[in-house]
Amino acid sequence: MKEEDRSKDHKHISVPHFMLIPSLSCPASCSYCFGPHHGPVMSLQTLDTALDYMGRLTAQDGRQKVRITFHGGEPLVAGYDFMRRALEGVHSLTGGRKRKIAVQSNLWLLDDKFSRLFRGHRVEIGTSLDGPEKITNAQRGSGYFSRTMAGIARAQTYGMSVGCIATFTSLSLPRWREVFDFFLKRRLGFSIHAAVPPLEERDLPEKLTPAQYGRLL
């Protein structure tokens, strides 16, 4: 294959994936979270700068598809007006290119306004849920399960499906079948993650070793 053909093929199959973090703040208190749970909301000036950079980068290499994920912290902490401006900016910068937009949220702040906004912009909804109520609350804090399930129900009311990330710890690992059955019975798509130590030097009793994660897989 000629070098120019390789280049064309690379542009055809690879999709640039940008992640925007409107805030590191989060109202949840998951025991294994690597984040600080607090921090300011991204300024509109920073948002505009990030969108401009993303637009220039994708225009330069001729990519026809773009993926953008809003993550955190909890991205909905930034508020409705911020998310509306961000989504309008994403549509403007991507032009005629195909775009896949997602938000990863615990859904506690998802209300009717956010739901209409996300549905209108065809935003894919992702959340974090570790399985049945007792397992989820033991790992993510009291009340987490009911609040996130309420958010899932609201999103579904607006015709949006929700995908879940289930984090396994040394405590939930032996109950893997309960976790899998929970998602299957509720027809919720899910992926699995392992609790891993944060970058800073502190112990994480809930972490999975590579061998434990291998057994789970």
Residue 181's CATH number: 3.20.20.70
Query: 22, 86 in Cβ contact below 8 A?
Result: yes
- 42 secondary structure, DSSP code: P
**DSSP H or E run through 26:** none
| Total domain count, the chain | 1
Cα R_g (the chain), whole angstroms: 19
Tell me the three state secondary structure of residue 163.
strand
**Cβ-based neighbour number of residue 71 at 10 Å:** 16
Mean pLDDT of 149-159: 98
- Cα angle, residue 131 at apex, residues 129 and 133 outer, rounded to 5°: 95
Q: Is the pTM of this model over 0.85?
A: yes
- CA–CA dist 140, 151 (Å, integer): 16
Would you state the structure tokens that stand for residue 1, as one six-digit string? Answer: 């294959």
User: What token pair was written down for 191?
Assistant: 């992926």
- pLDDT exceeds cutoff 50 at 6: no
Nearest to 24 by CA among 38, 45, 9: 38
Helices (H), 38-163: 44-60, 80-94, 112-120, 133-140, 144-157
At position 163, the amino acid (one-letter code) is G
Sequence letter at residue 39 = G
Q: In this structure, are residues 144 and 105 in contact, taking their beta carbons and an 8 Å threshold? A: no
CB proximity list for 23: less than 8 A, separation 6 or greater = 39, 40, 41, 42, 72, 73, 74, 75, 77, 78
Domain that residue 165 falls in: 3-216
Task: Tell me the pLDDT tens digit for each residue of 34-83.
Answer: 777 888 999 999 999 999 998 888 877 776 788 999 999 999 999 999 99
β-pairing verdict for 124-128 and 17-20: unpaired
Tens digit of each residue's pLDDT (9 = 90 or more) over 79-132: 999 999 999 999 887 666 688 999 999 999 999 999 999 999 999 999 999 999
